[in-house]
Amino acid sequence: MPLPVPVLPDGVDPAWLPPAAFEAIGRRRTLIRGSGLLVDTVHGEVAEACARFGGSVVRDASPEPCDLVLDVSGTDDGEAFTLKRAEGRTTVTASGRHGLLHGLFHLVRLGEEAFRGERAAHTHRPAVALRVLDHWDNVAVHPVMGQVERGYSGGSLFWRDGRARGDLERVRVYARLLAACGINAVTVNNVNVHATEARLLTERIGDVARIAEAFRPYGIRTHLSVSFAAPILLGGLDTADPLDHGVRRWWERATAEVYAAIPDFGGYLVKADSEGQPGPFAYGRSHADGANLLAAALAPYGGTVRWRAFVYDHRQDWRDRSTDRARAAYDHFVPLDGEFAANAVLQVKHGPMDFQVREPVSPLLGAMPGTRLAVEMQATQEYTGQQRHACWLGPMWSEALRFRPEGTDPVGGLSDGLVAVSNAGADPFWTGHPLAQSNLYTFGRLAWDPGADPLAILDDWIGLTFGPDPAEGVRAVLAGSWRTYEKYTAPLGVGFMVQPGHHYGPSVDGYEYSPWGTYHFADRDGIGVDRSVATGTGYAGQYAKPWAEVYESPASCPDELLLFFHHVPYGHVLHSGKTVIQHIYDTHFEGVEEVEEAREVWGSLGQSVDPERHARVTERFAEQLRCAREWRDQINSYFLRKSGVPDERGRALY
Ligand code: GCV
């Protein structure tokens, strides 16, 4: 039986799945072979497209020749599919049902192209098995963080007034969008697990089960963030010690109940001993002990625990120059390599700090060959413009995924999971800034194929979302937007310089000399953090060769990371030939000019973009430009005053 396609609620944007995207399929005569929920989903999609565009679809056998055959040979949920075209017929063959769904959305992307000429058989399979969006959604509105921690897209898609939303049709629509870009799992609550959210694991598991049901027809498995202290908070035990027998029994029982409610439950996500969350350190146990406790409870059901490596001291004394937040994850976790259970995955932020616009790749990735690793990105733009600025992150993620720690595959190939903190919410455009949809889409496609060209993915997104007319303009606005953002914000890898707490807008010393860390050490003579082995914190030595050597010396360190690794005088000459101080001035002028240009290009697209989307982006550009100018003026005047070096081009620096 075809499963009806979820109905887009009134006023909600279809994003990259507008009805027109299904025209090529909807004009064909299609045969679908196979059975099971996901095949019914595919059938429903094709049936709706045919009803709209005049084609037809039959199941299992066709008396007449078909233009399109969607065939699933096995009964498992394998994700690969083979596409070919011969003798006027396009065929997708999948060994498992999930592959058929991916094959369908691949055809959607190809459009008419899928039905032209001949096409040799080509098998597509995801490079990474676990492709997840983590939602930092609170069930109840948090007094400081609101409904969604670091959320810039309205309320939660799942939760309202302390419960799962009554009508989950929009979650079904969301599941469909995620499946169409390759995502296969979601975590439905914040990693900072507050009291109400902790109860999702036990008494409120029914709410989670309803959400899981909404995701299931699109092959997306549900995961839950849990509190390490759950045995105390929920079970009334007096300890959460991972080696305690009662604690183990408690997790086993709780997990059995979870699987009774959600048989295809994906697993747990844990933030432990981090920014105030409870963890195994309280009992003198290691993080491997902690992760393995939950892994053991999940193992009988095939579940996975994702254990975050974001563990650092957020109560630092800056006068202690040996403490370096960048070192923390490596120092904590590398000694534990080989100790994690087979179904435990260590989830590592792609950089050593915290999703800044420019960071080196975390040295942990590549240093734990005996541990399964997942790489965590941040689609929600906490430090990259908070979805008020256009900032397409595809090139940044792609650079990180292609980075090769010496002697290994690229980071993308090493990973057992790719994870993004979601940027979606109840906003009618899903992502606040309509152009931020490109980040969600790009993440999904890169998770499927970390080696893919991000610009080709951007073009796919533009084609599906906008159609051909404004394509060139939208590409011009987005393609370089990450580097533009970098130009007008913190320079050369120092990061932060944001307003404390909410992290929007410039504050050069906002976090400097704070307990959270110190990031630029600017004084009258120079700027940057010495992380060399010879004279600094030793962080550069956490990399294998050649990177340890490349980063150790200012002479070989890439310009864009210079101030992350070295403290240099303002007159230090970059590989570009400019001094550091002149680079700061120039990039801040350029960044603002580039925003002005992008805004103009967007303004010229009024005839080819629908009016609401056009108006929303126009309004966001006004704010982006205001904010970029503020960044330029604050940064330039700060460094003029600190260094006393004037702009060689004589511009006013405020
Ligand atoms: C969910 C940063 C953010 C926090 C976030 C944390 C994390 O510190 O500012 O809001 O907490 O990262 O990744 O756990």
Which ligand 1 atom is nearest residue 503's CA? 9
User: What is the pLDDT confidence band of residue 93, given thresholds at 50, 70 and 90?
Assistant: very high
Residues 102, 171: one domain? Answer: no
Residues 102, 211: one domain? Answer: no
| Ligand 1 center to 291 CA (angstroms) | 20
- Percent of all residues in the chain with a pLDDT value above 70, rounded to a whole number: 100
For residue 32, what is the domain's CATH number? 3.30.379.10
pLDDT for res 517? 77
pLDDT for res 424? 98
pLDDT for res 646? 96
Residues 191, 84: one domain? Answer: no
Exposure string for 7-40, b = 16+ CB within 10 A, e = fewer: ebeeebbbbbbeeebbbbbbbbbbbbbbebebbb
Q: Is the CB of 135 under 6 A from ligand 1?
A: no
Residues 572, 638: one domain? Answer: yes
Burial (0-12, 13-18, 19+ Cβ within 10 Å), 412: buried
Residues 401, 446: one domain? Answer: yes
Based on the residue annotation, tell me whether 241 is a catalytic residue of this protein. no
| Ligand 1 center to 355 CA (angstroms) | 9
**Could you tell me if 69 and 100 are in contact, meaning their C-beta atoms sit under 8 angstroms apart?**
no
Which residue shows structure tokens 């932020």? 349
For residue 595, what is the domain's CATH number? 3.90.1330.10
User: Is 521's pLDDT higher than 90?
Assistant: yes
User: What is the pLDDT confidence band of residue 290, given thresholds at 50, 70 and 90?
Assistant: very high
| Ligand 1 center to 275 CA (angstroms) | 8
Contacts 24+ apart (CB under 8 A), 245-250: 247/293, 248/293, 248/296, 248/297
User: Is 76's pLDDT higher than 80?
Assistant: no
**Helix residue spans in 158-236 (DSSP H):** 169-181, 195-198, 205-215, 230-233
Could you tell me if residue 542 is inside a domain?
Answer: no
User: What is the pLDDT confidence band of residue 166, given thresholds at 50, 70 and 90?
Assistant: very high
Q: Is the CB of 372 under 6 A from ligand 1?
A: no
Phi/psi at 515 (5° precision) = -65, -15
3-state secondary structure of 418: strand
Residues 517, 406: one domain? Answer: no
User: What is the pLDDT confidence band of residue 501, given thresholds at 50, 70 and 90?
Assistant: very high
Residues 92, 134: one domain? Answer: no
User: What is the pLDDT confidence band of residue 245, given thresholds at 50, 70 and 90?
Assistant: very high
- Percent of all residues in the chain with a pLDDT value above 90, rounded to a whole number: 92
Best CA proximity match to 208, nearest among 134, 148, 137, 265: 265
pLDDT for res 518? 80
CA distances from 157 to 86, 175, 188, 537 (A): 43, 11, 9, 43
* Intra-chain end-to-end CA distance of the chain, in Å: 68
| Ligand 1 center to 191 CA (angstroms) | 8
Based on the residue annotation, tell me whether 597 is a catalytic residue of this protein. no
User: Is 78's pLDDT higher than 90?
Assistant: yes
Which ligand 1 atom is nearest residue 192's CA? 1
3-state secondary structure of 29: strand
**Domain range for 593:** 487-529+567-643
Q: Is the pTM of this model over 0.95?
A: yes
User: Is 175's pLDDT higher than 80?
Assistant: yes
Q: Is the CB of 271 under 6 A from ligand 1?
A: yes
| Ligand 1 center to 34 CA (angstroms) | 44
Interhelix angle for 471-478 vs 454-466, to 10°? 140
**Could you tell me if 199 and 162 are in contact, meaning their C-beta atoms sit under 8 angstroms apart?**
no
**Could you tell me if 210 and 254 are in contact, meaning their C-beta atoms sit under 8 angstroms apart?**
no
- pLDDT tens for each residue of 4-53: 999 999 999 999 999 999 999 999 999 999 999 999 999 999 999 999 99
Best CA proximity match to 542, nearest among 351, 334, 350: 334
User: What is the pLDDT confidence band of residue 61, given thresholds at 50, 70 and 90?
Assistant: confident
| Ligand 1 center to 104 CA (angstroms) | 36
Return the H-helix or E-strand segment holding 394: helix 394-402
Provide the residue type at 172 as one letter.
R
- pLDDT tens for each residue of 438-450: 999 999 999 999 9
Could you tell me if residue 35 is inside a domain?
Answer: yes
pLDDT for res 320? 82
Residues 330, 421: one domain? Answer: yes
Residues 607, 495: one domain? Answer: yes
Q: Which of 456, 477, 499 is the last residue of a domain?
A: 456
Give residues with Cβ within 8 angstroms of 208, minimum separation 6: 164, 188, 200, 222, 224, 258, 261, 262
Q: Is the CB of 149 under 6 A from ligand 1?
A: yes
Could you tell me if residue 466 is inside a domain?
Answer: no
User: Is 74's pLDDT higher than 80?
Assistant: no
Burial (0-12, 13-18, 19+ Cβ within 10 Å), 169: middle
User: Is 334's pLDDT higher than 90?
Assistant: yes
Q: What is the mean pLDDT of the chain?
A: 96
**Helix residue spans in 235-317 (DSSP H):** 245-261, 287-298
Q: Which of 90, 124, 158 is the last residue of a domain?
A: 124
β-pairing verdict for 130-134 and 137-142: unpaired
**Could you tell me if 627 and 592 are in contact, meaning their C-beta atoms sit under 8 angstroms apart?**
no
Q: Mean pLDDT over residues 611-635, rounded?
A: 98
Could you tell me if residue 469 is inside a domain?
Answer: no
Could you tell me if residue 473 is inside a domain?
Answer: no
β-pairing verdict for 89-96 and 81-86: antiparallel
Q: Is the CB of 197 under 6 A from ligand 1?
A: no
Quote the number of domains for the chain: 3
Residues 364, 492: one domain? Answer: no
What DSSP assignment string belongs to 116-140? Answer: SS-EEEEEE--SSSEEEEE--EEEE
Name the residue of 275, 419, 421 whose CB sits within 8 Å of the most ligand 1 atoms, as the mutation to test its pocket. Answer: 275
Active-site pick, 275, 453, 523, 619:
275
Q: Mean pLDDT over residues 147-170, rounded?
A: 96
Residues 120, 136: one domain? Answer: no
CA 617 to chain centre: 22
Based on the residue annotation, tell me whether 359 is a catalytic residue of this protein. no
304, β-bridge pairs: 267
**Could you tell me if 111 and 23 are in contact, meaning their C-beta atoms sit under 8 angstroms apart?**
yes
Could you tell me if residue 154 is inside a domain?
Answer: yes
3-state secondary structure of 304: strand
Q: Which of 435, 456, 477 is the last residue of a domain?
A: 456
pLDDT for res 433? 98
CA distance 21 to 111: 7
Which residue shows structure tokens 């630092």? 316
pLDDT for res 414? 84
Which residue would you say has higher pLDDT here, 517 or 312?
312
Residues 367, 502: one domain? Answer: no
- pLDDT tens for each residue of 359-408: 999 999 999 999 999 999 999 999 999 999 999 999 999 999 999 998 77
Could you tell me if residue 355 is inside a domain?
Answer: yes
Provide the residue type at 608 as one letter.
S
Count of residues making up the chain: 654
pLDDT for res 313? 81
pLDDT for res 381? 98
User: What is the pLDDT confidence band of residue 413, given thresholds at 50, 70 and 90?
Assistant: confident
For residue 419, what is the domain's CATH number? 3.20.20.80
Burial (0-12, 13-18, 19+ Cβ within 10 Å), 313: middle
Give residues with Cβ within 8 angstroms of 144, minimum separation 6: none
Could you tell me if residue 462 is inside a domain?
Answer: no
pLDDT for res 77? 80
Name the residue of 354, 355, 516 whose CB sits within 8 Å of the most ligand 1 atoms, as the mutation to test its pocket. Answer: 354
